[in-house]
Amino acid sequence: MRIGRLLIEERPVPPLWIRFVIPIVSVLLGLFLGSFLIMFAKVDPLKAYYYLFYGAWGNKYFITETLVKMSPLLFTGLAVDVAFTAKFWNIGMEGQLYVGALASVWVGLTFTTLPSWLIIPLALVVAFLAGATWALLAGFLKYRLRANEVVTTIMMNYVMILLVSSIVHGPWRDPRTFWPSSPIVTRSAFLPILIKGTRFHLGVVIALVTAVVVYIILWKTTWGYSIRAVGANPKGANYAGINVVRTIVLTTMISGGVAGLAGFDQALGIQHQLIENISPGYGFMGVAVGLLSRLHPIGTIISAVFFASLITGSEMMQRATGVPVGLTYALQGIVLIVLLATMSLEKYRLRLLKGSEKGGGIKDGTL
Amino acid sequence: MELAVEMKGITKIFPGVIACDGVDFSLRKGEIHSLLGENGAGKTTLMNILYGLYKPESGSIFLNGKEVYLRSPRDAISFGIGMVHQHFTLVLPLTVVENIVMGTKYGSLNLVAGKIKELADRYGLNVDPWAYIWQLSMGERQRVEILKALYRDVDVLILDEPTTVLTFQETEELFSVLKKMKSEGKSVIFISHKLNEVMEISDRITVLRDGKVINTVNKADTSQKELAKMMVGREVVFRLQRPEVRIGGVVLELKDVSCLNDKGMVALKGVSFDIREGEIFGIAGVAGNGQSELAEVITGLRPLTGGSIRLLGEDLVGRTPREIREVGVSHVPEDRMDVGLILDMTVKENFVSDRFYKPPVSRSGFLNYSYMNELAKDLIQQYGIKTPGVDAVTRILSGGNLQKIVLARELSSNPRLIVAAQPTQGLDVGTTEYIRRLLLEEKSKGAAILLISEDLEEVLSLSDRIAVMYEGEIMGILDYDRANKDIELVGLMMAGAERLG
């Protein structure tokens, strides 16, 4: 494409530095654009951002709260890393989170005699399998009925959210409470609090360990090799002897399972029961978290911390400056849009045309 | 006779290849003029220049005696030149009318539909103006493309390999349309490599080879045989010494193999042959006559609709690509960019794409990176691959080095059978010779090699036996001496004009 003498041309080789620079630039640019929104609220953006930062990292309590919020985002972000690496566009993390929560609460209500060191791993495994199975259904629909996974996974979110809702209104309803919810799970199923006086629970550590495990799977194992090969070039993978369908099945299961762990984290780490709206959209935010880190599991930790900081910090920002919490959702959106827009810069560059390269005209005759 | 088009001294250079080399071409008013030549002879490039898609490095174009400078197809159309590409440029979810008016100023679509109907009736291009393109057969889509040009009131129509997508019946219909256009004083340029069609439809024929015009002849003054000779006959360049190898037992055996292509049309019809240890079996033919599908059925990438394939006595039918590789089959695919390599992975990862799941690359499910590094370094050195390093993303390498990576991987697994499809296509002379030497080395080691190539010289110079394919069938199998002595016969077989008993 050419605008005047400015030519937009493809980069022959996208340099490595740009992969790191682009997410950072898009975060900064997103915050800059967001500052105009803050100015609409008649607040000094620097002051708002100061409280945003303070509310996330200002003291021990804020820090642990940020990390507690990071944990579900990290799980769903990792689920995105796995699925998107294989170019399986799983947008169903929210539903997979809900089914994971449902499964872990079921374990917590059923195996009440088990000690903590048994019931917690059991709940973890069951939540993983529940998420994996739910995601696998979308994989099945894709390969048997050629249903687009973006559509099916989004729709399946609502199926699962409404299923959980009907369960807490109906069969699992705790009659002693006003709000529809299940009974509290057995005490041994509570994820232990690791720092006294905060909500910093075991789930945060499990999330960080999962990030390392996902990194190892994707980059150090033959499974990961297949997943990356299928994502990068399914035809080439098939030619080399990789079973593309089996690889996608494996991918959906890992992705859905990890998203299911976000439900485990919320159900047994925070709520200790099943409630409606157990997630404020962590599953959807996972897409942003994963994309911002360019699908790298270790980078996803940083990206999850960033989005968690926006969530926790925004409450302080609202209290101190009156900028509404809702603004952070706008900020998230802006950062993501800027990221997606700047990502194309990786493939293209601008070049000024030299005089000799000008376009031609008709030598003889007119048009 | 008055000239509609005159192209003088057209030269077009692409990186590393001269597509057109000082080509002179003229088109009379009211004639059907065929451009004949093998793939890569420069036919399409020359016509893309006339249609304003490419700018030539040098040369001039005259339309109706006036010199013009074509910046884009829009210019070409305004001068009355239309082109129907081999791959249609229609928008599938839109209707015929919408596709035809696209890019023009128009009033009511109903009026346009009326005009299209009128044109369709006049030329016998039967198609419903309100049909959606996706509903139409390939033949009907081609009619839409022709109508698109006629609607723009072209005087010169260029058709690039128009018959490859057509059935015999549709081809006949197309020819009557072209004759009708001719009778109205319009001129047609017909690009083809099928001798019988060229002889049926043309007034004059220009033969291109390696970007140069070999000759322009009147149809009345020539024969299929002469055209075949002009098309393929070439000065024998440097030939590699074929090693004396004892031909052993049968490695690969195909019996009555049939399959479909991606469009669901028959691609292979009852293909039978065998290849022995130490033998190079060449497949000659113009692209699109079933060669790609042949490589795919043998390597398990495409299902058979009939027949059997045996490797060292083992039945390969129904096996997965990985299982077939395990039996000792290597595959150098014709599309190294989209099939042979995973361009977004690193060089060292691409070296193991066929074997990463088993030791020594896999150590109980974990990738052994130190082994991968060693292997990559060895292969890079052994095959002289130019890369910034083993961790470089494969995409940044040049075509020749990409192909060397494929060959290094495929040959380092000590295959019993090597299926090599277009192994040197688009590569420079040095790399081409290097790769041919590699194949001869493998032959010396006793591998059986199926060499599929559009480069006739390559097939003729390397193969012990040569099969010629035309429209999914083997027209005959010749040995080295006979094929090299009677190159015209090979040309006739490639064009479907001759079949051996």
Taking only the tens place, the pLDDT of each residue in B412-466 is 999 999 999 999 887 766 788 889 999 999 999 999 999 999 888 889 989 999 9
% pLDDT > 70, chain A:
90
Beta-strand runs (E) in B219-364: 250-260, 266-276, 280-284, 306-311, 314-315, 329-332, 362-363
CB atoms within 10 A of CB B152: 15
B270 and B199 both lie in a single domain: no
pLDDT of A293 higher than 90: no
Angle at the Cα of A308 from the Cα atoms of A310 and A53, rounded to 5 degrees: 45
Cross-strand partners of B330:
B418
Alpha carbon distance B187, B30 (integer Å): 5
Give the SS3 label for residue B452. Answer: strand
Mind listing the pLDDT tens digit for each residue in B19-74?
899 999 999 999 999 998 876 788 888 999 999 988 888 999 999 988 988 888 88
Alpha carbon distance B54, B71 (integer Å): 8
B216 and B274 both lie in a single domain: no
Nearest-CB residue to A13 (from B333, B356, B396): B396
Alpha carbon distance B131, B97 (integer Å): 8
B207 and B312 both lie in a single domain: no
Q: What is the CATH number of the domain that holds B294?
A: 3.40.50.300
Final residue in a domain of this structure, among B177, B198, B232 = B232
Residue B58 lies in a domain: yes
Final residue in a domain of this structure, among B199, B232, B265 = B232
B222 and B282 both lie in a single domain: no
Angle at the Cα of A331 from the Cα atoms of A327 and A333, rounded to 5 degrees: 115
Residue B241 lies in a domain: no
B104 and B176 both lie in a single domain: yes
B277 and B191 both lie in a single domain: no
Out of A177-181, A354-358, B315-319, B423-427, the most confident range is B315-319
What is the full DSSP assignment across A241-299? T--HHHHHHHHHHHHHHHHHHHHHHHIIIIISS-BTT-SSSHHHHHHHHHHHTTT-HHH
The answer to whether the Cβ–Cβ distance between A236 and B353 falls below 8 Å is yes
pLDDT of B318 higher than 80: yes
Residue B244 lies in a domain: no
B→A contacts (Cβ < 8 Å), by residue, are 55, 66-69, 71, 75, 78, 299, 301, 320-322, 325, 331, 333, 338-345, 349, 353-354, 356-357, 361-362, 365-367, 393, 395-396
Which residue segment(s) compose the domain that B372 sits in? 250-494
Burial class of residue A54, CB neighbours in 10 A (0-12, 13-18, 19+) = middle
The answer to whether A312 and A93 are in contact (CB under 8 A) is no
Mind listing the pLDDT tens digit for each residue in B168-198?
778 888 999 999 999 999 999 999 877 888 8
pLDDT of A362 higher than 90: no
Residue B97 lies in a domain: yes
Q: Could you tell me which chain A residue has the CA closest to the CA of B341?
A: A236
pLDDT at residue B204 in the model: 95
Mind listing the pLDDT tens digit for each residue in B247-266?
889 999 999 999 998 878 89
Spell out the residues 6+ positions from residue A112 whose beta carbon is closer than 8 angstroms to its own.
A186, A188
B111 and B21 both lie in a single domain: yes
Question: Is the CA virtual torsion B116, B119, B122, B124 positive or negative?
Answer: negative
pLDDT at residue A367 in the model: 34
Please give the tally of structural domains in chain B: 2
Alpha carbon distance B126, A32 (integer Å): 60
Spell out the residues 6+ positions from residue A93 whose beta carbon is closer than 8 angstroms to its own.
A76, A79, A80, A259, A262, A282, A283, A284, A286, A287
Final residue in a domain of this structure, among B232, B264, B299 = B232
Give the SS3 label for residue B252. Answer: strand
Alpha carbon distance B338, A133 (integer Å): 33
What is the full DSSP assignment across A77-132? HHHHHHHHHTT-----HHHHHHHHHHHHHHHHHH-TTS-HHHHHHHHHHHHHHHHH
Give helix A326-343 / helix A297-321 axis angle, nearest 10°.
140
pLDDT at residue A63 in the model: 95
pLDDT at residue A10 in the model: 62
* pTM to 2 decimal places: 0.77
Nearest-CB residue to A220 (from B75, B354, B366): B366
Structure ipTM: 0.82
Q: Which two tokens stand for residue B59?
A: 């040369």
The answer to whether the Cβ–Cβ distance between B69 and A363 falls below 8 Å is yes
Alpha carbon distance A31, A22 (integer Å): 14
Residue to mutate among A213, A222, A294, with most B CBs inside 10 A, is A222
Alpha carbon distance A288, A76 (integer Å): 10
Q: Considering only CB atoms, which chain B residues are within 8 Å of A13? A: 393, 395-396
Mind listing the pLDDT tens digit for each residue in A192-251?
999 988 999 999 999 999 999 999 999 999 999 999 999 999 999 999 999 999 999 999
**Confidence bin at A363 (pLDDT 50/70/90):** very low
Residue B242 lies in a domain: no
B220 and B353 both lie in a single domain: no
The answer to whether B257 and B307 are in contact (CB under 8 A) is yes
B425 and B293 both lie in a single domain: yes
Residue B239 lies in a domain: no
